[in-house]
Chains A and B, each alone.
Chain A
Amino acid sequence: MPFLTLAEAVARHVRDGATVALEGFTHLIPFAAGHEIIRQRRRGLTLVRMTPDLIYDQMIGMGVAARLVFSWGGNPGVGSLHRMRDAVERGWPAPLEIVEHSHAGMALAYEAGASGMPCAFLRGYRGSDLAAVNHQVKFVPCPFTGEDLACIPAHRPDVTIIHAQKADRAGNVLIEGIVGVQKEAVLAARCAVATVEEVVEEFGPRSANAVILPSWTLAAVAVVPGGARPSYAHGYYPRDNAFYVAWDEIARDRDRFRAWMQENVIEAAR
């Protein structure tokens, strides 16, 4: 597992047309990595994420994505993701195919991928029209009880990218706080990249059950302080709620959105 710069890690591991998962449940969203994918002008990606959040709104609006696999596409506590809506409702800047799940379905599909299973079973999607519009949702009878269970294919991203608090010198990565679905998303992927706030000599005192991804589960680690902003990193910085509110206005208008991205992402060298 080499330490790379973020630009090197994205150049090496994120290819046009790939299936890419950037995970982090409200907490530790890998914004810097998403911005680097935009700067390197990747095209035709299948973006996988439970809550697309602002980062996928930005990537979709910049024309990175051909397909979105998700379960909740809003701006938490604020309202709509206007770029995602524009793509779904009006095909701007490009039509966006959507594959829509529930949270339980998405979480278990990652878990199935991490477990080496072809599919996940759950008591889910029952009575919901989601099963009618997502043809990946099937119902199969339990061989023991006959109960109809929902079955969906496992997520196997070509690459998963996460942000975490710390790596040690050996490249092991520690995640604390709301750990979301990152461990599953990393272990489900063919290749995984972590950005971290800092590198420490060693992790020091911690719970015996701390969530640590061993270095050999990762293809690269990049040190990117502030790499989750405007999301947050427990123990480092809080969520920039004011930016989430401000984004509503920025993203509403196509020109304003493009100008903001040009100034703050394209021309912002990290």
Chain B
Amino acid sequence: MNYTPQEMMTVAAARALSNEDVCFVGIGLPSAACNLARLTHAPGVKLIYESGTLETRPDVLPLSIGDGELCETALTTVSVPEIFRYWLQGGRITVGFLGGAQVDRFANLNSTVIGPYDRPKVRLPGSGGAAEIATGCGQIFIVMKQGKRSFVRDLDFLTSLGHGRTGRERSALGIRTKGPTLLVTDLCLMRPEPETNEMIVTSMHSGVTREQIVENTGWDVRFADTVEQTPPPTQDELSVLRDLHERTARAHGAAAGGEA
């Protein structure tokens, strides 16, 4: 069965979630991945959106973080201060999904600005929930399409802490959560190297070469001693994902993407 690199990325991200996870979900690719997990191998996964919807089971993917569909299919809906205080800061969330305009080798993310902060070349939306999701969730999965402009040596702005500018900042700041343990791209999977916390390639998607990964990374990307091959999407994963996107397109008249 043929599939796109984007489908491979979504499926690989979905597989990383377990049935026991309580997951803080962002709009777009994370939302597709989390709902794919819920509709396949992890029916018990608890999905929480920052609009306050706890244990939501949307039939179609939301276009915004606060779509009515999320509220109507949720176990309950709480206020926005409560979601950030009791549920995120209170340590109830096991996994947070994040993305951004730029990521560096220590999985720090920029979603604020390209160019200087005071004289921006491109003003991006900003943190939203990300700055505290990055430190409040048990661990972080990052999902981003790989390319030289987004996988950079130096971030223009550090919005959400990964492992810090030297790889050691989390422990220096007394942060006890794990931070980014997985970076899923359309080419490969990266995980932090145990001693340095630098993200290194641990699995390559089918048909992808090392040269392609090097060409699409702005730092001198390194590979694990043993690099695995990511299993391609199964027929079941693909058909559930495509059904979900079809239902979504019918409901919105467009595919869902972006954050709020």
Interface residues, chain A, with chain B CB atoms under 8 Å away: 25-27, 50-51, 70-81, 84-85, 88-89, 100-104, 107-108, 110-111, 122-130, 133, 147-148, 177-181, 183-184, 232, 234, 238-239, 241-242, 244-245
Main secondary structure of the interface of B (DSSP, over half): loop
Query: A104's contact among B63, B71, B132, B170, by CB below 8 Å, is which?
Result: B132
On whether the beta carbons of B161 and A177 are closer than 8 Å, the reply is: no
Contact A72 B126 (CB under 8 A): yes
Interface presence of B247 (CB below 8 A): no
Which 8 pairs, one residue from A and one from B, show the smallest C-beta to C-beta distance? A26-B66, A127-B161, A74-B125, A72-B128, A76-B260, A76-B64, A77-B63, A102-B131
How far is the CB of A209 from the nearest CB of chain B, in Å?
10
Listed A/B pairs (16) with beta-carbon separation below 8 Å: A25-B65, A26-B65, A26-B66, A72-B125, A76-B63, A76-B66, A77-B258, A77-B260, A108-B85, A127-B161, A128-B127, A128-B134, A130-B112, A178-B51, A241-B253, A244-B64
- Residues of B that sit less than 8 Å from A by CB: 27-28, 50-53, 62-68, 70-71, 77-81, 84-85, 88-89, 112, 117, 120-132, 134-136, 157-161, 164, 169-170, 173-175, 252-254, 256-260
Task: Give A59 to B127 CA distance when docked, in angstroms.
Answer: 22
What's the Cα separation between A108 and B52 when bound, in Å?
14
Residues of A within 8 A of B252 (CB): 241
Residues of B within 8 A of A177 (CB): 68, 71, 77
Distance between Cα atoms of A108 and B80 in the complex (Å): 9
Flag if B63 contacts A241 (CB, 8 Å): yes
Q: Which residue of A lies closest to B127 (CB)?
A: A102
Q: What are the residues of chain A within 8 A of B169 when measuring CB–CB?
A: 127
Q: How many whole Å from B194's CB to the nearest CB in chain A? A: 20
Cα separation A174 to B136 with both chains bound (whole Å): 32
Inter-chain contact A73/B254, CB cutoff 8 Å: no
In chain A, what residue has the closest Cβ to B258? A77
Query: Is the beta-carbon distance between B158 and A232 smaller than 8 angstroms?
Result: no
Complex-state Cα separation, A103 to B28, whole angstroms: 18
Least CB separation from B118: chain A residue: A133
Min CB gap B102→A, angstroms: 12
| Further 17 A-B residue pairs, CB within 8 A, beyond A51-B260, A73-B125 | A25-B51, A26-B67, A71-B127, A71-B128, A72-B126, A72-B129, A74-B124, A75-B258, A76-B27, A76-B260, A103-B80, A103-B127, A103-B128, A127-B164, A128-B134, A147-B174, A179-B77
When C-beta atoms are compared, the residue in chain A nearest to B170 turns out to be A127
| Bound-complex Cα distance A75 to B164 (A) | 29
Q: Are A111 and B123 in contact (CB under 8 A)?
A: no
Q: A72-B126, A130-B127, A180-B79 are in contact. Are A245 and B161 (CB under 8 A)?
A: no
From known contacts A25-B66, A74-B125, A177-B77, infer whether A127 and B84 are also in contact, taking CB-CB under 8 Å.
no
In the assembled complex, the CB of B60 is this many whole angstroms from the nearest CB of chain A, namely 11
State whether A102 touches B132 (Cβ < 8 A). Answer: yes
Query: A178 to B158, Cβ gap below 8 A?
Result: no
CB <8 Å contact, B84 and A100:
no
